[in-house]
Amino acid sequence: MPELPEVETVCRGLRSHSVGKTIAAVQCNRPDIRFPLPENMAERLHNRTITAVERRAKYVLWYCAAKEGDSGEVLATHLGMTGRLLYHAVLADAAPKKHDHVCVTFADGSGIVFNDARRFGYMLLAPEHALLASSHFAVLGVEPLEAAFDGHYLHAKCKRSSSPIKLLIMNQKIVVGVGNIYASEALYRAQLHPETPANQLKQAQCSALVAAIKQVLAEAIESGGSTLRDYVRSSGDVGYFQHHFAVYGREGEPCHMCTTPIRRIVQSGRASFYCGQCQPLHVV
């Protein structure tokens, strides 16, 4: 479900409600999500205080203060396609709802529930250095909103790949956080056909694409993300960026720039949307 703007929005919401709070209880209702829940997660988290909530790629990271015998651990959550992290001002004694896999209750009675119908999401718990060295994090590419992601970086990656540019920018090993929606939206803004072989892109086109990715992600964060089906903020409120889509989900509707009907194709099993007029495929 969530791409970078949605995860960032959830992260910001949770930060304001969890930093400084102490975990009183962790209830694991269903251990068989994508990866099994961390061993002894409940007791390892018990009595820890949340010192920070951060985002890395599409993960939400809770920094949990040290206890006797260790220097603190980080709880990482990936939301998969349908995962939600919902804050409840009063959680104690509430009965879990369907797909509420983990409930974290704070000492003040508030809490956070991890709900995920499809169970593609998962949790990891480890000291920060171990988490970052794990197979999940070690392979992650650059953050798209950071300076390291620039036209030069993308061009260097593109030169070595003949894969369609849409797939390349969705590859988390190259740049993180860009998923199926924002890939189509960014390519439209950069006026690049999603099937363009990456190694055909010139430096200037890569720079334009980088700018488009940064722009669309930033705007989506401003709007609280995009709510199509499942995504909600930690408050339960929806996002609004779906009203600003130029191409995603608009098959047959007119392009905002030239009125040509938007096309839908399937790449690697995922729907791609583009304007055939504004995003021509140049075949060399």
Partner DNA sequence: AAATGAACCTGTTTGC
Partner DNA sequence: TGCAAACAGGTTCATT
The residues facing 23 across adjacent strands are 106
Considering the rule CB under 7 A, would residue 56 count as an interface residue with DNA?
Answer: no
Based on the shown chain and the rule CB under 7 A, indicate whether residue 1 belongs to the binding site for DNA. Answer: yes
Burial 160-171 (b: 16+ CB within 10 A, else e): eeebbbbbbbbb
Binding mask 124-163 for DNA (x = CB under 7 A): -----------xx-----------------------xxxx
For DNA, which stretch binds (CB under 7 A), given 18-26, 102-110, 145-153, 174-182? 174-182
Q: Which is nearer to DNA, 227 or 234 (CB)?
A: 227
Strands 111-116, 100-106: pairing kind: antiparallel
Q: Is 3 in the site for DNA (CB under 7 A)?
A: yes
Mark whether 2 is an active-site residue.
Answer: yes
For residue 128, how far is the Cα from the chain centroid? 20
Compute φ and ψ for 187, nearest 5 degrees.
Answer: -65, -35
Which residues between 179 and 198 bind DNA (CB under 7 A)?
A: 179-181
Q: Using CB under 7 A, which of 46, 143, 270, 277 touches DNA? A: 270
- Token pair recorded at residue 2: 């969530």
Which pair of structure tokens corresponds to residue 152? 């030069």
The Cα-based distances of 153 to 140, 143, 159, 167, 275 in angstroms read: 15, 12, 10, 16, 27
Length of the chain: 284
Mind telling me the catalytic residues? 2-3, 58, 270
For binding to DNA (CB under 7 A), which residues are involved? 1-3, 6, 34, 57-58, 78, 80-82, 98-99, 117-120, 135-136, 160-164, 167, 170, 172, 179-181, 226-231, 242, 267-271
